[in-house]
Amino acid sequence: MKDYEKKGNISGELELDGNLILTGDLVVEKWIDVKGYIDCAGYSIKAGSFIKAGYYILAGYFIEAGSFIKAGYYIEAGGSIEAGSFIEAGGSIEAGGSILAQLWIKCKSTLSAGIYIYSGIVTWRERTEEDMVIECGKLEKGKIEFGTLKELGEVKSLSGKTVKVTLDGVEYSAIIK
């Protein structure tokens, strides 16, 4: 996949058939949809609507979206993670600060926050029990300030792992989906 380097403010949306590597803080007016991974390289990322990555989202500071944040494998931020609707990862979610979702938070592996975790902070309609779900394999760190924790037990998976195979003297690398 091709790597694309971005920083600054972008009007409209950002859609890439590759990987997004930040060279500075990035603010996108509408949404961010990346087929590969998002590596914020120590910077922050913000979108007016959603942030979506096929593999992972890694930020040095904060990740913020007006709607949802979703990654195929994991979401990690040195600071806080905030979404106007839900946060979902196929693997783990980790924040050095707090995690806040106006709807649910779901990940298949570990959930970790440096401070607090909030889900179901609905302000535009009546809240349901499903809005408040914080579903993960295991809560590793952080205090649930608002929401209902459902630990499902950790699932051992090779998903997201890189494997190397040598065939006829040629070495190949692949990421398991």
Q: What is the pLDDT of residues 11-59, one digit of tens each?
A: 999 999 999 999 999 999 999 999 999 999 889 999 999 999 999 999 9
- Burial (CB < 10 A; 0-12, 13-18, 19+), residue 168, is exposed
Domains of the chain: total: 1
Q: What is the pLDDT of residue 97?
A: 95
Report d(CA 77, CA 44) in Å as an integer: 9
Confidence band for 156, pLDDT divided at 50, 70 and 90: low
Between 1 and 97, whose confidence is greater? 97
pLDDT tens column, 81-136? 999 999 999 999 999 999 999 999 999 999 999 999 999 998 889 999 999 999 99
Residue 92 CB coordination number (10 Å)? 23
Confidence band for 158, pLDDT divided at 50, 70 and 90: low
Report d(CA 41, CA 76) in Å as an integer: 12
> Do you know the residue count of the chain?
177
Taking the CA of residue 153 as centre, how many other CA atoms within 13 Å lie in the half-sphere pointing to its CB? 2
Amino acid at position 1, single letter: M
CB 36 within 8 A of CB 18: yes
Q: 42 is in which domain, residue-wise?
A: 2-175
Whether the pLDDT of residue 159 is over 80: the answer is no
Report d(CA 37, CA 22) in Å as an integer: 11
